[in-house]
Structure 1
Amino acid sequence: MSKLPGNAGVSVLGDKSLEFYRDPVSFCRQRIEKHRGRVFLSRLLNRPTALVCSVEAMRELLCEKSNQFLKDPTDLMTNMYGDTIVTTNGKQRCLLMQTETCVFCLYSVCERCLKDLSVSGQPQCGYSVYKRLGTELVLGLFLNVRAEEQPELFEEISQLCITHWHGLISAPISVKAPLWSSGFSTALDARDKLMDIIRDKLQNDKQGFVGSLGSLPLPDSGSAAQHLLLFISALIPKALASLLTSFTLALSGKEQEEARRRAREDPDFLHRVLLEVQRLWPPFIGGRRLAEQDSTLAGFLVPKDYGVVYISHCVHRDPEVFQQPDSFLPERWSGRNAGQEHFLCSFGNGPRNCIGPKLTNVFLKEACMYLLKHYDWCLDPLSQDLEYKWLPVSRPANPPTVSFTTTGCDRSDAS
């Protein structure tokens, strides 16, 4: 086995966390070029950390050796969400798979959130619209709170979720004063209020997802509430908004008219488009593990207690697996990369991946089909800065504006 290329530096002084969080993609690209490899060493969160940017090493980390690299129980997600399927390392998450069978009218939410995109005749900020769509989907599905039926409760929960989310992008310092509280402290207060609402729902609502979750044999009475806190958080709406924004940009303009037609008429082609959107613009930059024992990744030694971070953006552009890795080529998924969806890690991979990718895919396809059947669209103005930022969720740093025009494919008679 070989020593990891790169340098972990010395404690504190050698830490590269600020440089990484400022621009993780450039951080990794520079080191891939410098070390001429896609697995290398640095120091993040003051811990020697292996960064994984290849499909081979990602699959080892998350699949073949998942029992050797475990979730970090001290990370910020645990502080903000408690012990959920994101932070658990045991089999408890398997119980939650049962809840994916809930029925929810996705089309009615798409109709309510997307029907007026062209009414004003003015360019729209798609990302904001898509966040609202995602919020209505998750609160309706997971908590039985629908915007049209309980508008005040819906808005209260939405605002609390936004405040709670800000705790993930704040310094983890809890400070309260008479006229000021830190962002992290305010986020923790929002979390407590959300938990009160969730516990009330679990106790009194026996329908749908919340009713099913309350009946599962979870380890303790607080587990269901902790899981629901994650499910209704701003995390999922922002991920959906990220992917829908990237989809809109990828198929924008006159030159993509034929691609929009094909996606509208051919579900298999739409599936390939969404795989390519996920490959090029994953909503989350990656994930972190800790080495439970001395191990190897791609032939390199990873000592016990080292951190390991996989970078989805770089894994998805591994030229050993994806030819022309920076090009938007949906046809790759019916050609050389057919059947290789398991090489993507937008929502993790292996036995501890996110439990919701299938559900997310249903959300995405329904929303994309609504857009395709009702609208054509283009950037407005045509010249905009589309440079992406990658943390905490990927999207253009300056949310683009898009003009939508109705098509002749409007399914106004849909139910």
Structure 2
Amino acid sequence: MSKLPGNAGVSVLGDKSLEFYRDPVSFCQQRIEKHRSRVFQCRVLNRPTAFICSVQGMREILCEKSNMFLKDPTDLMTNMYGDTVVTTNGEEACLLRLSLSSLFTGSCLKSSNDYITSVCERCLKDLSLSGGPQCAYSAFKRLGTELVLGLFLNVRAEEQPELFQEIMQLCTQHWHGLISAPVNVKVPLWSSGFSTALDARDKLMDIIKDKLENDTQGFVGSLGSLPLPDSSSASQHLLLFISALIPKALASLLTSFTLALSGNQQTRQRAMEEPDYLRLVLLEVQRLWPPFIGGRRIADKDSTLAGFHVPKDYGAIYISHSVHRDPEVFQQPDDFLPERWSGRNAGQEHFLCSFGNGARGCIGTKLNDVFLKEACMYLLKHYDWCLDPPSQDLEYKWLPVSRPANPPTIAFTQLDLKTSDSSDNG
């Protein structure tokens, strides 16, 4: 057992939170090089914290030793969403996951397919109409919003446009509270972002409770009939499922997908013709550009991670971007090589942690895969695309959800205008 490289710093003065949040990727890379270790320590959120940037360390914290590293019960996610499958620990988390898992698998998943297909068509069919470049990220975020509100809340944009717009605005306000300072201040003519977010949450909860009481169909009806711990649990989970988190994650991955394949006709053609190859492409997109930078835990007892001693009450943060580029596991870690997933890294999808991993991994991962494959296949079948202008700043920002800091503009060209026109006229 070795001592963690680095320095935990002194209280307050030694805190590195601002430096980390400003650029988490550079923050970690500099320390990996300085300490010659993919596991190191420093002070973040005024707590000594172990940073985990290796596949081995990630697998330990999320899988093998997950019962020793717990979710922080005081974090902002709990403040904004309450006790959910994402924020609870121990037996409560296991029971919630067991209750909810049926909604994201099997027949429930299959019943969503037609709606997912129709939303992809409606949101993506006009990408080439303007004749000029599009901010693809915005179009993809709208697609994600329509998917989650339609599937989880039975609110469909084409059937209830006013209610859809109201909920979308409230979700945006609520999201901004998640990424603002948790200061609840309200004075005449001004409210803090956090205060505005709490107001938005209350309005969303009123809509959600009304849905749970009066709607017996689809996901809402199924959720309302589950054996959950108390009357507020269903509404808190619905708030989580319709939040801006999912549309932003989907928009992040779809944007990275379009950028990775921009101008690459051969790769696009192969991905369209071979579903297995599309799967490899999407794994590689997720590896290089994970939508979430990672996750944070608190050590419940003295433990070790990747051979280093982690004392009780230390924070532990796994960094997806760094884990996914661990050269011990991924050769040429910075290169876009979909073929690696059918070669050296075949069967190693469990080394990715974009959506967590192990027993506490994202409960909706399979549904997210369906979203992604359907949207990507629609793009591949209907469009050619390239960056317009060809030279753009594609530097990523990684918090709170990854995307190019300057949303790229992409020119989409319809692949078969005649076929498209005839089907529209028909």
The TM-score, its normalising length taken from structure 1, stands at 0.98
Q: Which amino acid aligns with 1:202?
A: L
Equivalent position of 1:24 in the other structure: 24
CA distance in 2, matches of 1:372, 1:147: 25
Matching residue within 134, 155, 173 for 1:145: 155
1:286 and 2:294 correspond:
yes
Equivalent position of 1:379 in the other structure: 387
Q: How do 1:16-415 and structure 2 match up within 5 A?
A: 16-89=16-89, 90-91=93-94, 92-100=96-104, 101-102=108-109, 103-104=111-112, 105-253=115-263, 256-408=264-416
SS of 2:119 mapped into structure 1: helix
Please list every run of 5 or more consecutive structure 2 residues that lacks an aligned counterpart in the other structure: none
Q: Give the count of matched residue pairs.
A: 412
CA distance in 1, matches of 2:29, 2:153: 41
CA distance in 1, matches of 2:192, 2:146: 29
CA distance in 1, matches of 2:266, 2:134: 23
CA distance in 2, matches of 1:65, 1:107: 39
Q: Which amino acid aligns with 2:206?
A: D
SS of 2:88 mapped into structure 1: coil
* Cα deviations by residue, 1:230-270 (Å, 9 ceiling, x for unpaired): 000000000000000000000001xx100000000000000
CA distance in 1, matches of 2:130, 2:191: 40
CA distance in 2, matches of 1:413, 1:392: 41
CA distance in 1, matches of 2:117, 2:64: 39
Deviation, structure 1 residue 169: 1.1
Deviation, structure 1 residue 107: 1.1
Q: 1:413/1:208 Cα in 2 relative to 1: closer, same or farther (>3 Å)? A: farther
SS of 1:165 mapped into structure 2: helix
CA distance in 1, matches of 2:381, 2:60: 41
Higher mean displacement: 81-90 or 319-328: 81-90
1:7 and 2:40 correspond:
no
* Cα deviations by residue, 1:61-103 (Å, 9 ceiling, x for unpaired): 0000000001011001111111111102221122111111252
Deviation, structure 1 residue 120: 1.1
CA distance in 2, matches of 1:353, 1:304: 23
Deviation, structure 1 residue 225: 0.3
Deviation, structure 1 residue 408: 2.9
Q: Which amino acid aligns with 1:82?
A: G
SS of 2:407 mapped into structure 1: coil
Deviation, structure 1 residue 413: 6.0
Q: Which amino acid aligns with 2:31?
A: R
Please list every run of 5 or more consecutive structure 1 residues that lacks an aligned counterpart in the other structure: none
Deviation, structure 1 residue 152: 0.3
SS of 1:405 mapped into structure 2: strand
Task: Give me the CA root mean square deviation.
Answer: 1.1
CA distance in 2, matches of 1:240, 1:179: 35
CA distance in 1, matches of 2:423, 2:250: 26
SS of 1:67 mapped into structure 2: coil
CA distance in 2, matches of 1:64, 1:9: 29
SS of 1:145 mapped into structure 2: coil
Identity of aligned residues (%): 81
CA distance in 2, matches of 1:218, 1:352: 18
Q: Which amino acid aligns with 2:278?
A: L
Deviation, structure 1 residue 208: 0.4
The TM-score, its normalising length taken from structure 2, stands at 0.95
Q: Which amino acid aligns with 1:85?
A: V
SS of 1:398 mapped into structure 2: coil
CA distance in 1, matches of 2:356, 2:214: 34
CA distance in 1, matches of 2:254, 2:298: 32
CA distance in 1, matches of 2:387, 2:364: 31
